[in-house]
Amino acid sequence: MNNQDCIFCKIVAGDIPCFKIYETGNILSFLDIGPVNKGHALVIPKNHYKNIWDFPAELGAEVLTAAQVVGDAIVKATGADGMNILMNNNAAAGQLVFHAHFHLIPRFKNDGFKLWKQSEYDNMDEASALAQKIEKMIRSVN
């Protein structure tokens, strides 16, 4: 499964160079060319999947293993104090390349980056109603 217009598929195929740091039969990890902090890497499936909902669950354990191995190595190599591991899904969430990928971003105590602002529910009834709606959606799928 490959998308000939996808930059990550071109990296997997070897048509575009990358700074590869980890590879298995199904997974590739390389440095992000626009890092938040130096050492910022991506973990991608070699096959093209658009986002988390297109991504096969059976590949999850291999991605988690890659994130653990690569993340640990990044922290050690950079002296990072922590790491964000995240995935943006769809344009509204900041996804720029529509090939499923996970960001491993080394973090430092004084790097100046902040997490997004949190908000609150208006009341517990609102939270309860939304939880029930989500739970109902899950039951309807399973």
Question: How confident is the model at residue 48, as a pLDDT?
Answer: 97
Residues 65 and 26 sit within 8 Å (Cβ to Cβ): no
Annotated catalytic, 99? no
Task: For residue 93, tell me if it sits in a domain.
Answer: yes
What is the extent of the structural domain holding 127?
7-141
Which CATH number is 47's domain given? 3.30.428.10
pLDDT tens for each residue of 54-79: 999 999 999 999 999 999 999 999 99
pTM above 0.75, yes or no: yes
Question: How confident is the model at residue 1, as a pLDDT?
Answer: 62
The DSSP H or E segment spanning 21 is: strand 20-23
Write down the catalytic residue from 40, 48, 99, 101. 101
Least confident of 32-36, 85-89, 111-115: 111-115
Task: For residue 2, tell me if it sits in a domain.
Answer: no
Question: How confident is the model at residue 115, as a pLDDT?
Answer: 82
Which are the contacts of 29, defined by CB distance < 8 A and separation ≥ 6? 20, 21, 22, 23, 41, 42, 43, 44, 66, 70, 104
Task: For residue 67, tell me if it sits in a domain.
Answer: yes
Q: How many domains would you assign to the chain?
A: 1
